[in-house]
Amino acid sequence: MVVTDALARLGRAGLTALAGVGRAHTLLAAIIVGLPALLPRPRLLIAQIFNIGVLSVLIIAVSGLFVGMVLGLQGYYVLNQFGAEESLGVMVAASLVRELGPVVTALLVAGRAGSALTAEIGLMKATEQLSALEMMAVDPVRRVLTPRFFGGCIAMPLLAAMFSMLGVLGGWFVGVGLLGVDDGAFWSQMQSKLDFREDVINGVIKSLVFGVVVSWIALFQGYDATPTAAGVSQATTRSVVHAALAVLGLDFILTALMFGE
């Protein structure tokens, strides 16, 4: 029966997807439950903030600077046509603080650090290091996954803030330094149009959410990977793709909730 076969395939796919969602949430719960055990050992957390945060600073800094410079250049040519080049600061800062800072940082971290996390956990699973930990009565979720998760959650907002700051400075460099926008107007228009709570804090909340989602997806894909070389490579790909899709989708929802009236 072709029809029942097709239905069975659809059902199986649905059930598999649902089981994956369930495993992901169970893992997240186990990771968060491990937080009290992490607090007395901040060394583990510091090492992960180093891996995820410090090692990503270079790419975040360079991307932020260049995104800001391009925004300054493009924004100037459009605004110049309306004689509104003084608004360049508002345009650059608002787009960076509200959207580009959190989103591009999350995408870069997913590519730079998320993939590494997935590969690391997946390989630990493939080489049975996680089972070895369990044999020594060490919970691998608490010992290995929890520090990585919270390291990602802490590093992401800080990286996004650096991205936005360097982007604004890049836009300032191009706009004021190269194209001759008035320095005072650039900053004063920015300050009068951007609100601390509305814009900056909402951007930080966004990057915090992205930090949770990117670390969660990366760790789950690694922990759930088929323990073979092919499985780990597939999981790494999935980690980046899923993280990017989740970040972009969530960004739309968060923007609608935060800035839609």
Partner 1 sequence: MGTTRTTEILVGAFMAAGFLALFFLAMRVSNLSAAGDGDGYALIARFDNIGSLKVRAPVSMAGVRLGRVESIAFDEAAYQAVVTLRIDAAYDQLPTDTFANIYTAGLLGEQYVSLDPGGSPDYLGDGDQIEHTQSALVLERMIGQFLFNQAQEDSE
- Tell me: does residue 58 bind partner 1 (CB under 8 A): no
- DSSP for residue 224: T
- List CB contacts of 18: < 8 A, sequence separation 6 or more: none
Question: Whose Cβ is closer to partner 1: residue 59's or residue 158's?
Answer: 158
Q: How far is the CB of 50 from partner 1 (least distance, A)?
A: 5
Q: Of these, 47, 132, 241, 245, which contacts partner 1 (CB under 8 A)?
A: 47
> Which CB atom, from 47 or from 138, has the smaller least distance to partner 1?
47
Cβ count within 10 A of residue 46: 13
Q: In the set 9, 23, 29, 50, which binds partner 1 (CB under 8 A)?
A: 50
93 scored as a contact of partner 1 (CB under 8 A) = yes
| Burial zone of 35 (CB within 10 Å; 0-12 exposed, 13-18 middle, 19+ buried) | middle
**Alpha-carbon radius of gyration of the chain:** 22
Residue 94 CB, shortest distance to partner 1, in Å, is 9
CB atoms within 10 A of CB 224: 18
Residue 19 binds to partner 1 (criterion: CB under 8 A): no
Q: By CB under 8 A, tell whether 49 contacts partner 1.
A: yes
Given 27, 65, 145, 162, the residue binding partner 1 (CB under 8 A): 162
Tokens of 221: 């894909």
Helices (H), 34-87: 35-38, 42-52, 57-81
Give residues 117-136 in contact with partner 1 (rule: CB under 8 A).
none
Residue that has been written with the tokens 């600061």 in this structure: 89
Q: How far is the CB of 154 from partner 1 (least distance, A)?
A: 8
Size of interface with partner 1, in residues (CB under 8 A) = 33
Phi, psi of 124 (to 5 degrees): -60, -40
Tell me which residues in 180-209 interact with partner 1 (CB under 8 A): 187, 190-192, 194-197, 199-200, 203-204
CA distances from 48 to 9, 33, 73, 153, 173 (A): 41, 18, 37, 11, 34
Binding site for partner 1 (CB under 8 A): 43, 46-47, 49-50, 53-54, 57, 93, 97, 154-155, 157-159, 161-162, 164-166, 168, 187, 190-192, 194-197, 199-200, 203-204
